[in-house]
């Protein structure tokens, strides 16, 4: 299994990155504020607007270190990658499957099955751990609805019907999401999922965490030779990393949502960690974002047992494990693609 290396998060808005030998140097106000050896890095995520030197871009590309640029509010801007890994036959298989409606629907169902299953798992976990602090009847009703939706997935005749089933389950899941927030409920009230921009603190955390995880999935797919822009559930659209978004569906609840809930319920994020803009948009403040990214990096180091591989691995390697399994399935090494079912 691949070794999990570090991700460098650069959160200082006016930082500039340059190369010094085998080291990335972070500059602020033209003064050095940090340096890290490239050999220790798997990726660099930069929230700064000044960018990076061409020499550093080239060095990262040569070494397979992904360099991603986000806005100060966490909106994806650009990604720098090196030469494509893998072979053309793998990508050809990926694209042929995407052109086959029946084949695309089949693999899209696996993504939705895992998503619904993992959403149910998150609700069940909350009900098990905090039965005295939640509306048990509402959570049990949501669990039963998820079970019913799971039975409907295999018989979906097309993508539209499949997305209808997913939508029903998602409505039930987010309908009880506020129940799973156990601390500062008034300040971290959740009524519905909203985005672009998020208009409350919980949605701000969800959107930001989904961006982080999507970026990591993109890097994992490229590392095994897959094209993150050719998907099956999310159809092709210029600029949309469709396959990364497909795999995000598997991991969204068990990985990202659980992390957001834990940060709120442990009091790791505070009410005044957020900026509220004139248009109602809500974003993490710079200092709070740095703290949140540190907690995310810590979560990536935590170990779980992979439900299919049966191996202990760090959370940060789960996107890579799913990318690897998807590539093995496309090559014919596996009979079916095994999505991530949290146990």
Q: Which residues pair with 28 in a beta bridge?
A: 31
Regarding predicted confidence, which is higher, 176 or 68?
Answer: 176
Average pLDDT, the chain: 86
Using CA atoms, how far apart are residues 288 and 271, in angstroms rounded to an integer?
Answer: 10
Q: Is the pLDDT score of 151 beyond 60?
A: yes
Q: Is the overall model pTM greater than 0.85, yes or no?
A: no
Cα separations in angstroms, 288 against 70, 200, 207, 291: 16, 15, 15, 5
Q: Does 197 sit behind a cis peptide bond, omega within 30 degrees of 0 on the bond before it?
A: yes
pLDDT, residue 1, reads 46
The answer to which of 43-47, 88-92, 182-186, 265-269 has the lowest mean pLDDT is 43-47
- Residue-wise pLDDT for 87-105, tens only, equals 788 889 999 999 999 999 9
Using CA atoms, how far apart are residues 130 and 61, in angstroms rounded to an integer?
Answer: 47
The answer to which of 42-56, 225-239, 321-335 has the lowest mean pLDDT is 42-56
- Residue-wise pLDDT for 256-291, tens only, equals 999 999 999 999 998 888 888 878 788 888 888 889
Q: What's the average model confidence in pLDDT over 107-123?
A: 96
For residue 255, give the nearest of 209, 320, 190, 323 by alpha carbon.
209
Using CA atoms, how far apart are residues 37 and 269, in angstroms rounded to an integer?
Answer: 31
Which pairs count as long-range contacts for 157-163, CB under 8 Å and 24+ apart, including other chains? 158/101, 158/105, 159/104, 159/105, 159/108, 159/233, 159/235, 162/105, 162/108, 162/109, 162/112, 162/233
Structural domains in the chain, sorted by start: 6-80 (3.100.10.20), 88-331 (1.20.120.920)
Cα separations in angstroms, 29 against 23, 36, 53, 243: 19, 18, 15, 39
Using CA atoms, how far apart are residues 340 and 329, in angstroms rounded to an integer?
Answer: 14
Q: Are 260 and 254 in contact (CB under 8 A)?
A: no
């Amino acid at each position: 299994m691949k070794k999990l290396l570090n991700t460098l998060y650069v959160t200082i808005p006016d930082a500039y990155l340059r190369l010094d030998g085998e080291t990335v140097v972070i500059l602020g106000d033209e003064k050095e504020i940090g340096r890290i050896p490239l050999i220790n890095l798997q990726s660099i995520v930069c929230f700064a607007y000044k960018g990076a030197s061409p020499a550093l871009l080239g060095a990262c590309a040569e070494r397979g270190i992904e360099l991603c640029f986000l806005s100060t509010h966490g909106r994806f801007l650009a990604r720098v990658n090196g030469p494509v890994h893998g072979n053309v036959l793998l990508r050809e298989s990926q694209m042929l499957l995407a052109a086959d409606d029946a084949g695309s629907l089949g693999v899209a169902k696996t993504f939705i099955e895992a998503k619904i299953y993992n959403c149910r798992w998150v609700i069940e976990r909350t009900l098990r751990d905090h039965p005295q602090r939640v509306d048990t009847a509402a959570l049990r009703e949501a669990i039963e609805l998820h079970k019913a939706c799971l039975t409907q997935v295999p018989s979906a005749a097309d993508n539209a019907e499949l997305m209808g089933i997913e939508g029903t389950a998602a409505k039930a899941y987010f309908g009880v999401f506020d129940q799973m927030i156990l601390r500062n409920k008034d300040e971290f009230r959740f009524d519905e999922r909203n985005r672009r921009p998020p208009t409350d603190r919980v949605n701000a955390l969800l959107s930001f965490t989904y961006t982080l995880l999507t970026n990591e999935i993109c890097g994992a797919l490229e590392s095994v030779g897959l094209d993150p822009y050719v998907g099956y559930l999310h159809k092709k659209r210029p600029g949309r990393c469709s396959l990364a978004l497909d795999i995000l569906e598997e991991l969204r609840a068990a990985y990202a949502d659980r992390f957001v809930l834990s940060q709120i319920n442990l009091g790791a994020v505070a009410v005044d960690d957020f900026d509220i803009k004139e248009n109602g948009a809500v974003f993490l403040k710079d200092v709070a974002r740095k703290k949140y990214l540190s907690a995310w990096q810590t979560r990536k180091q935590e170990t779980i047992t992979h439900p299919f591989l049966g191996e202990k691995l760090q959370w940060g390697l789960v996107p890579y494990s799913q990318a690897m399994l998807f590539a093995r399935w496309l090559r014919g090494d596996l009979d079916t693609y095994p999505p991530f079912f949290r146990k």
